[in-house]
Structure formats: structure tokens, C-alpha cells
Amino acid sequence: MAHVILGMLLIAPQSLYDLIKNFEAGVSLVYSASSGSIKRALDALLDKGLIEVESIEPGGRGRKVYRATEAGRLAFHEWMTAELSGPNLETTALPRLFFLGLLDPDDRAPVLRRIQDRAVADLAEVTTLEKHLDTMDVPPESREVVAYQRATLDYGIASGRHALSWFAALADRDPLR
């Protein structure tokens, strides 16, 4: 979450309220967060020196407006260009895709290649599982359960193939060309 917030603050300095609203208006399509988790992430980013308070708006509440520091910019860039880690492709790739326009044009293609590499690895993993399942002898009393488990696997394979194809097409057709 910290890197998503850094990306949002690199787009524009924002208050906690602004961040919550902007999560709801767009980022939540690829990353979900509660207001409490956003606040905790802001506090952690402040403690690490990755963001700072740009200003405190006058008024009864004195809303703090945050912005990324140079260290925050560097941390964001390192995250964007690093190998993808995490439990599934969507939660690791889509936040990077959402903020890809913040990177220099020369840095974008390698990020898309890393996403494609992750999609290939994930697809290889589920197709290996498929091959293993094809060799199993399923007892008659388990066939109905296994049939739907297999359908779930088939969905995962189709989803993986789609992701790989979609990201490859995006890499081939840079949206700014």
C-alpha cells in the first residue's frame, strides 16, 4: 500500500481525505484500502522520510497535505522497476500498470516485460498442476467435487493466458505512440 500512496502523491500532493476519495474514485479498481490502513501507511511513510507534510490547511481541522520526498520518489521508482512479488499477478501488476505513466518512457517497457515474465511463470505453474491432475485417478464419490475444482483451474488457466496476451499486446502498442 505504501507504494500506491507514493504514486498518488507523486501525481499530486494530497490530504488524507483526498487520498481516501481518490482511492474510491480510481485506485480501488486495482487496490483496495480502508481509511485506517491509508492513515497507518501515511504515518509509516512519514516515519521513513518518504513523504512530508507540504502544508497544513488553515481552518478548524488544519488538514495536512502530504507530498513525496526525493527519497519517496526513489523508493517508488525502485518498487515500480523491481521484480514482481506477491501472491497473484493482478495484485502485483495492476498497481504498477496504474502508475506506469509516472515512469520515464524508457523505463516502461522493462516493467511490462517483468509483468509478462510473471504471467508466463504463473501460467506454467497452473498448467503443471493441470498435467498432474490429468494423471490422477479420481474415485467415483469425489468426481463431482473434483469437476468443479477442475473448472476453477480451467478458469485460472484461461485468465493467465488472457493476462499474458493482454500485457504482450500493451507492450507492443505503447499507448503514447
Please report whether residue 63 resides in a domain: yes
Q: What is the pLDDT of residue 67?
A: 93
The SS3 assignment for 173 reads: coil
Please report whether residue 90 resides in a domain: no
Regarding whether 102 and 63 lie in a shared domain, the answer is: no
> How many structural domains does the chain have?
2
CB atoms within 10 A of CB 60: 5
Please report whether residue 40 resides in a domain: yes
The SS3 assignment for 68 reads: strand
Which of 35, 58, 82 finishes a domain?
82
Q: What is the pLDDT of residue 99?
A: 93
Q: What is the pLDDT of residue 60?
A: 59
Q: What is the pLDDT of residue 28?
A: 67
Q: What is the pLDDT of residue 104?
A: 92
Q: How far is CA 93 from CA 2, 143, 161, in A?
A: 15, 35, 15
- Tens digits of residue pLDDT in 66-98: 999 999 999 999 999 998 888 888 888 989 999
Q: Please list the ranges in the chain whose pLDDT falls under 70.
A: 28-29, 31, 59-60, 174-177
